[in-house]
Amino acid sequence: QVQLVESGGGLVQPGGSLRLSCAASGFTFSSYAMSWYRQAPGKEREWIAAISSGASTRYKDSVKGRFTISRDNAKNTVFLQMNSLKPEDTAVYYCNAVQWPYYTGTPLYSWGQGTQVTVSS
């Protein structure tokens, strides 16, 4: 049974930083690309970052240079370091496994519960 458990969200002031984690289980984590997504209130879920099994990375333009995706295959965990946060980054953040290079496409598994990020002064 596949599980994706996101954590690390919270309330942060504009310009601040957060590091999100996603612990995966139930599949061979090291063999899969992983993506981060987010869903803001009233908006559709959007893809924001991906990392291949070989650690190649891709980013949505709106987060490029501010967010960094990484992975620890020994811990079956993917991370999202978020710096210079803006109010428009407020959303629930999710991770999922994806097919590379179709990393913006349909994810492979059911969604986890996500983690809320709120950027506000």
pLDDT at position 2 over 90: yes
Residues 6+ positions from 65 with CB-CB distance below 8 Å: none
- The per-residue b/e assignment along 20-57, b for 16 or more CB within 10 angstroms, e otherwise, is bbbbbeebebeebbbbbbbeeeeeebebbbbbbeeeee
In this prediction, residue 36 carries a pLDDT of: 98
In tens, the pLDDT along 53-111 reads: 999 999 999 999 999 999 999 999 999 999 999 999 999 999 999 999 999 888 999 99
Residue count of the chain: 121
Q: What's the whole-number mean pLDDT along residues 1-11?
A: 97
